[in-house]
Amino acid sequence: MIDWFEYQGDAFAGHILVPTPQLEKICEKIVRENHAAFSRMSSIPDDVWSFISNEVARYFEVNSPVAEIRIRKESIPERIPLR
């Protein structure tokens, strides 16, 4: 039950502290900056977006779960190709 409340709190915080337009721009920037590393991978592991969420969290000064929830809720992985 506590996990549910924590998730709801993180999701709510994300809507306030991580606006969608800026989220998309910073994700695009991080993907561009790491393009060489991503292009060398034979396949893109699922945890790449967890790495990206850590960078996003630092940018917005929120915790990583807040950033990761926003990335997933806004379907950023489907909109920004890693390669």
* Dihedral sign for Cα atoms in the order 13, 15, 16, 22: positive
Contacts of 21 (CB under 8 A, 6+ apart): none
pLDDT tens sequence across 28-83: 999 999 988 888 887 777 788 888 999 999 999 999 999 999 999 999 988 888 87
Prediction pTM value:
0.84
Q: Where are the domains of the chain?
A: 2-79
pLDDT higher than 90, residue 26 = yes
The C-alpha atoms of residue 2 and residue 18 are separated, in whole angstroms, by 23
Q: Is the pLDDT of residue 12 over 80?
A: yes
Query: Which of these, 56, 76, 59, lies nearest to 67 by C-alpha position?
Result: 56
